[in-house]
Structure 1
Amino acid sequence: MLTRVTLGDGGRTIELGWQDGASSRFHAMWLRDNALDDKTRSAGNGQRLITILDIPSETRIGAAAIKGEVLEVTFVPEGKTVGFPAGWLCSHVYDCQEARQPGWTGGDIRRWTKAMMQNSVPRAAYTEASRDGNVLRQWLAAVRSYGFAVMDGLPAESGALCKVADLFGYIRETNYGRWFEVRAEVNPNNLAYTNLGLQAHTDNPYRDPVPTLQILACIENTVEGGESSVVDGFAVAAALQAENPEGFRLLCSYPARFEYAGSSGVRLQSKRPMIELGPDGELICIRFNNRSLAPVVDVPFAEMDTYYAAYRRFAELIEDPAFEVTFKLEAGQSFIVDNTRVMHARKAFSGSGKRWLQGCYADKDGLLSTLAAIEHGFKEAAE
């Protein structure tokens, strides 16, 4: 609840007092640009109807008053009065003194290790998730929080993995097709199509942008070995940062190069850091794939030794069993990973029996949009 309002700097800023004793400052220009009236934003979709150039550059607040749970503001020189709900203002406060360290993550992200997740892998049954919005909400929220989840009860048939993507979004088709086969082949064009073990990795770092989700579904698995495993790249990055801040800085500061040319007519290349931070230091992406790493040429000579030492240590931590959660997919099971965060791997398996998985890519915008819509619906129902 708002308790006081004070204008500052000739009306160019406003300071609000809250019931808990906190205070928050806002700029007049920011408030005007984010006004909630139907002349500024579409009532139908919430999109802004004006440009920044439609707002007078000399905009300031001529008057402000608290009316119940609403802050009423009059902007000059327009003479326009707009109401801002207190709850909306509280959720959009940007006057923060907290200094965030590089590598921070949002409140929805929970980093994990083997000790935390091996016996509590998030999972749901497909039939229940497709019929019950609460089950789907919990499963999608687990993907948002932990970066992976298992789904049981799919039909053990080709193309069934599409049903998982259909729960929240759309498949992202690539040169590998709408989906791709993961089983032993003769003369494969990708090491994923052998019975060799695969180091924990993120997929397709040579794409820009990378597919942000990967789904792998099991149709048949009667081999010895071949377990799947996942590693939280955000947790590994935090461990590296704690023991070697300089190495962490180097892997964030300089781009690696990735490339793929394994198919006729395809030549994919990208240039991005192995550990990517946003401009405000938020940890937003891990790219790690030994098979696709091209020569690193963007690190200065004076720092290349140290960079490679950090790369090696990052790889050692990724291989540390303390970070690895392992499970074996049975026919009709699938799992999804956030390909910007969670690395997946496969243990080697024997030549006897059959191991047939299918994989496809999707993107987080669809998953997060579906989750937000479901959560909004639950919130409205509760109110």
Structure 2
Amino acid sequence: MSLETAGLLQDGEAVCLQWSDGKTARFHAIWLRDNAQDPETRASGNGQRLITILDIPANTRLASAEIKAGDQLHLRMTPENKELVFSGNWLRKRIYDTPAVTDRGWCPKHITTWDAGLNASVPTVDLNQAKADRTSLANWLEGVRRYGLAIMTGLSTDSGSLCEVAELFGYIRETNYGRWFEVRSEINPVNLAYTGLGLQAHTDNPYRDPVPTLQLLACLENSADGGESMVVDGFKAAQVLRQESPESFDLLARFPVRFEYAGADDIRLRAKRPMIELGPDGELIAIRFNNRSSAPYTDIPFESMADYYRAYRKLAEIIERPEMEVTFKMKAGDLFIVDNTRVLHARKGFSGAGTRWLQGCYADKDGLLSTLAALEEKMQEAAE
């Protein structure tokens, strides 16, 4: 699609553009000036802005707008008498002239929520393939972005091998548990994850601020009976809760709760956040659900506490529904990664016979999303 028309609005306060497919959108003069792509406004190397809002005249207006060959919009700004050029494609990707979002708990288009139906199509890649082929790595990372879950096979069973996976896209986030941590039976464990007990579906480390946004779990040995891994899409659970009990959804999104962890004499981790976190525009941002790490709730009014617990129970019941879970048995050399702000993971109990040894580590989504964006940009350039 190419630009076809450009008309000034409100004495140059804005411009209305129309593309060849009939799409129209308005852009304010102040927005266009702030987002100018010229070298006086943006650094050519990293694209960072070189001016502040105070460098832009408050009475900025458009004096003219003209479409020229090559799908280019040429603008002249007053009172600076500054010439700006934008491509129609660049503007098309950044249209903000859309209806205001009024829904609470919506997800962006790159997010796909899921239930047990994902069992047969969890994004999966072999480590060597991901290392050798950028497209395979990009597809795997895109799966993490879309579903909050992916599996990788073909890892070494050497201790610490999962670090290689994290370093494919970002950096390990070291915590009090170390650069990585062991998940196997121990005597007098410091955490219930280190026993053979089954674990309720949960997100990890809600007592941290900020919480680790990615968790990786790699299997080094697994000859024990049971111990299947289970994952649940917390965003899907929140959507079901909103459909079945809007008042419960509102309570869990409105009030914060407290989480804490004291694993040693010198460790006191505490955080206060809602179980269902929404952005200012209602976007579903994060789920925090961890019964083991919940502290006494003291930020909910007396009049709402009983209703809050009913809402909490309702969400827990939804999470426990068999139709919500994806279940798989890990074998040596397998790894799965979850978006820890979204996907809850669990484990069925396992017996003392045989050995079950997993290692886990944390990373953050900013590295993964940065690597994915760079890969997608390079693939787009190669395709053009």
**Both structures adopt the same fold (TM-score exceeding 0.5):** yes
Deviation by residue 1:69-110 (Cα, 9 ceiling, x = unmatched): 011111111110000100111111111125341111111111
SS at match of 1:302: helix
SS at match of 2:249: helix
User: What is the deviation of 1:264?
Assistant: 2.3
SS at match of 1:335: strand
**What does residue 356 of structure 2 align with?**
355
User: What is the deviation of 1:309?
Assistant: 0.6
In 1, Cα distance between the equivalents of 2:100 and 2:51? 32
In 2, Cα distance between the equivalents of 1:99 and 1:140? 28
In 1, Cα distance between the equivalents of 2:47 and 2:379? 20
Q: Which runs of 5+ in 1 are unaligned?
A: none
User: What is the deviation of 1:331?
Assistant: 0.8
In 2, Cα distance between the equivalents of 1:300 and 1:264? 32
Matched residue type, 2:72: V
Which shifted more, 301-310 or 285-294? 301-310
In 1, Cα distance between the equivalents of 2:151 and 2:26? 44
1:83 paired residue among 78, 81, 85: 85
User: What is the deviation of 1:374?
Assistant: 0.7
In 1, Cα distance between the equivalents of 2:345 and 2:313? 18
**What does residue 374 of structure 2 align with?**
373
Matched residue type, 1:184: S
SS at match of 1:24: strand
In 2, Cα distance between the equivalents of 1:320 and 1:266? 35
- Contact preservation (8 Å) 2:257, 2:272: yes
In 2, Cα distance between the equivalents of 1:120 and 1:96? 34
1:72 paired residue among 50, 71, 74: 74
User: What is the deviation of 1:325?
Assistant: 0.5
SS at match of 2:293: coil
- Contact preservation (8 Å) 2:248, 2:310: yes
In 2, Cα distance between the equivalents of 1:336 and 1:264? 31
The root-mean-square deviation of aligned C-alpha atoms, in Å, is 0.9
In 1, Cα distance between the equivalents of 2:191 and 2:264? 9
**What does residue 125 of structure 2 align with?**
124
Matched residue type, 2:196: N
**What does residue 187 of structure 1 align with?**
188
**What does residue 339 of structure 2 align with?**
338
**What does residue 226 of structure 1 align with?**
227
Query: 5 Å matches for 1:79-228?
Result: 79-97=81-99, 99-114=101-116, 116-228=117-229
In 1, Cα distance between the equivalents of 2:377 and 2:245? 41
- Contact preservation (8 Å) 2:207, 2:270: yes
The size of the alignment, in residue pairs, is 382
TM-score, normalised with respect to structure 1: 0.98
Matched residue type, 1:97: P
Structure 1 position 12 matched with structure 2 position 33: no
Q: Which runs of 4+ in 1 moved over 3 A?
A: none
Matched residue type, 1:155: S
User: What is the deviation of 1:121?
Assistant: 2.0
- Contact preservation (8 Å) 2:223, 2:354: yes
**What does residue 240 of structure 1 align with?**
241
Matched residue type, 2:351: S
In 2, Cα distance between the equivalents of 1:295 and 1:168? 37
User: What is the deviation of 1:254?
Assistant: 0.7
**What does residue 310 of structure 2 align with?**
309
Matched residue type, 2:92: C
Residue identity (%): 61
In 2, Cα distance between the equivalents of 1:120 and 1:25? 41
